[in-house]
Structure 1
Amino acid sequence: MPFKKLHPEIQEKLASFEIETPTPLQRKSIPVIKSGANVYCTAPKDAGKTTTLILTTLHTLKFEAVGNAPRAVVLVENKEKALELYDAFLEYTRHTPVRVYVGHEHLHVDVQKSEIFMGIDILISTPKSMNKLFLMNGVPVSQLKIFSVDDAEFLVQQSAYKALMSITQSIKKCQYVLYSEKIDPKLKRFEAYFMEYSKKVTV
């Protein structure tokens, strides 16, 4: 039962939302992600991919605020998805010390940079916005533990693909988890770069 082995505060939150039973994806993927491996999580729409991402991110960070540099990064396709995921994270992190920050290309990069330096735990952003921050040294990555991509199909777009490749070259050591409905050949190519020795979880 994957929920039983998650951080106690996560279990409390799930109980308050009356979520007792993991989806088939959560049952299969949570133990694999917790092991620290790079993972491709493939499942149909509404299989619980985004909730899995939130639960495993918070578990990895032990539901606490540490230092100033982000320890988790989540990449999404656009501003709308970024704000949607931010709200979903807040359902779990409200009234806790965990600091979630959302960035996108409609927010000036200097504003993002200064706000990130004030201290965050989880950074949600778009490829273009995050790449710009990385090029400006606007995101310290020395503490990064987990890098997830929600609905990763958008990475087949050339601009998003290139931005992610550029971002990952700046990161020395980190766990990567890609969530998608299917693994496009272009996503499989990441195995030769940052997704080495990756495991695949499919439902």
Structure 2
Amino acid sequence: MSFKKLNSLLKESLATLKIEEPLPFQKKVMPIIKGGADAYVVGKEGSGKTTALIIYTIHKLKAEAFEDSPRALILVENQEKVNQLKDEFNRYSKNTDLRIYATSERYDFEKQKVEIYYGQDVVIGTPSFITKLYFQNALHIGQVQVFALDDAGYLGRNNAYNHILRLTESMDKFQSIIIANEWNSKIANYQNGYMSNARVLKK
């Protein structure tokens, strides 16, 4: 798959970044997730997994803001990775009006509730903090279309598994993507639940 069929605003961002063609693993992954399949995307560092997720998410959300509730929810290991992922999303979405929000356990909780309430398209956070936001009615996840776990090697620590299952039980129709450097029992466990029909894409 080339980038020709992507949203025009997204293609402008890719051109600005001088990205002309997908990497080999992205060519394998993108058509499958673009088709709406749940997927494990497992490949080495540098294979373009997270970038594929970012590009796909922006395309899926039509590269535009819409109403108030988040349509993409992405979980990562810690605050550093939350901030890094937001920065990457901003790079690829700067020609759009998509609202990318990085939650933080270090930032005023009530202010975050207000900022999320007034509308975000993509929300990024750790499993524990996103769960806290949800159970304190600060985050509506009923409109989530894309639910992703990025760099999922951390799963199994800090009660992440239970947090994630609680969230998925509260969502309706959504596409799930798990990004990881290697296949292991921690991510395989989700095949017993909401990832039961997921494709396993390995580089």
> Please, what TM-score do these two structures have when normalized by structure 2?
0.95
CA contact (8 A) 1:2 1:30 kept: no
Secondary structure at 2:138 match in 1? coil
TM-superposed CA distance for 1:109, in Å, is 2.8
- Partner residue of 2:112? 112
TM-superposed CA distance for 1:95, in Å, is 4.7
- Partner residue of 1:139? 139
When structure 1 is superposed on structure 2, of 103-112 and 22-31 the one drifting more is: 103-112
Secondary structure at 1:70 match in 2? coil
Amino acid at match of 2:50: T
- Partner residue of 1:15? 15
Instruction: Structure 1: give runs of 5+ residues left out of the alignment.
Output: none
- Partner residue of 2:170? 170
Number of positions where the alignment pairs a residue of Structure 1 with one of Structure 2: 203
1:184 is aligned to 2:184: yes
Question: In 2, distance between residues paired with 1:185 and 1:108?
Answer: 36
CA contact (8 A) 2:38 2:195 kept: yes
- Partner residue of 1:98? 98
Question: In 1, distance between residues paired with 2:171 and 2:2?
Answer: 29
TM-superposed CA distance for 1:101, in Å, is 0.6
Amino acid at match of 1:19: I
TM-superposed CA distance for 1:37, in Å, is 1.0
> How do 1:23-172 residues align onto structure 2 when only pairs under 5 Å count?
23-172=23-172
Amino acid at match of 1:190: Y
Secondary structure at 1:101 match in 2? strand
Question: In 1, distance between residues paired with 2:111 and 2:160?
Answer: 22
Amino acid at match of 1:69: S
Instruction: Structure 2: give runs of 5+ residues left out of the alignment.
Output: none
Question: In 1, distance between residues paired with 2:143 and 2:165?
Answer: 19
Question: In 2, distance between residues paired with 1:40 and 1:6?
Answer: 22
Question: In 1, distance between residues paired with 2:2 and 2:134?
Answer: 34
Residue identity (%): 37
CA contact (8 A) 1:72 1:147 kept: yes
Q: Which aligned segments of 4 or more residues in structure 1 are displaced greater than 4 angstroms?
A: none
Secondary structure at 1:2 match in 2? coil
TM-superposed CA distance for 1:140, in Å, is 1.0
The two structures, once aligned, show a CA RMSD in angstroms of 1.3
Secondary structure at 1:187 match in 2? helix
TM-superposed CA distance for 1:158, in Å, is 4.6
Secondary structure at 2:3 match in 1? helix
CA contact (8 A) 1:100 1:123 kept: yes
